[in-house]
Amino acid sequence: MRRTLFRLAAVKPARYLEPNTPTGITGLLTHGSPRAHLLYLYTTTLDKLKAVPEHSVYRKSVEALTKHRLSIVEQAVPPGYAEWSKRAQKLVADHPEQFNVSEEASGSVDGAAAARIERDGQVFIVRDVVTEVDIRDQEWDGERDTGLGPEGLAQQKDLGDTRQVKWEPEPQLTADQILELENKIGHGLIEEVVQVAEGELKLVDTMVKAKVWEDLEEAPAEGQWNYFERNSA
């Protein structure tokens, strides 16, 4: 597989990969913050695995692989990370009202608010600022505005403080750091690693729901799971 050779053509002078540029794989664009995303995915996966009994082979295997990859990603620290971390912590402390969505919330993050999620002592800020939509671009649903008053069906607007705090993204890893990560993990491009991590996180919920650690309803026949064994007899 062509690894990052194609991508290096889009590298900035300081050797940073340009987000949303082609990776050389159809439909897969360069991720803007793979380190932060992977840290969140891996830590969340480990947290969800706690719902699976410790003796489960599934939990043991996924936990071991996830912890291994998490340690690799944690060791890759982008330039300027320490300074950014101090600024980020101060921003959260100064504007707690903007980071007040709890982990148990519905999952919808509106306006300037953001989810402040804690996993095993680590704090993640998950933001999803809603894009303003021009009413002129919206399709009419056929309903006639028969409401009273000059505003018709319009509802009372919230006049509270809706100013958005400008969140500074985590510094990017250099192109060399990305390449080193890809080589250590050994699972293709970093964007492919992110896709696998996203899939594994979703799979945990399915496996927990199915209770894969429980015994089968019908016991397998003796020797059913013994394949390709060398028999010296």
Structure tokens given for 7: 């991508």
Burial 7-30 (b: 16+ CB within 10 A, else e): beebbeeeebbbeeeebeeeeeeb
Task: Average pLDDT across each block of 10 residues of the chain; the chain has 233 residues. List them in order.
Answer: 51 75 92 90 93 94 96 93 85 73 38 46 51 57 55 47 67 92 95 96 95 86 73 57
Say what the pTM is: 0.67
Q: Which two tokens stand for residue 130?
A: 């809603």
To 5 degrees, how large is the angle CA 172–CA 178–CA 183? 160
Q: Return the residue matching tokens 């496996």.
A: 207
pLDDT of residue 173: 92
* pLDDT for res 86: 86
**Residue 181 three-state SS:** helix
At residue 174, the pLDDT reads: 93
* Predicted pLDDT of residue 30: 92
Report pLDDT digits (tens) over 167-213.
778 889 999 999 999 999 999 999 999 999 999 999 999 999 999 89
Distance CA 26, CA 16 (A): 21
Confidence at residue 5, expressed as pLDDT on a 0 to 100 scale? 52
Taking CA atoms, 157 is separated from 3, 112, 151, in Å, by 51, 16, 11
What's the CA gap between 73 and 185, in Å, rounded? Answer: 9
Determine contact, residues 30/111, Cβ cutoff 8 Å.
no
Cα separation, 180 vs 182, in Å, equals: 5
Q: What are phi and psi of 206, to 5 degrees?
A: -65, -45
DSSP lists the bridge partners of residue 124 as 117
CB of 24 within 8 A of CB of 10?
no
With 0-12 CB in 10 A as exposed, 13-18 as middle and 19+ as buried, what is 72? middle
Would you state the pLDDT for residue 48?
Answer: 94
User: With contact defined as beta carbons under 8 Å apart, do 11 and 18 qualify?
Assistant: yes
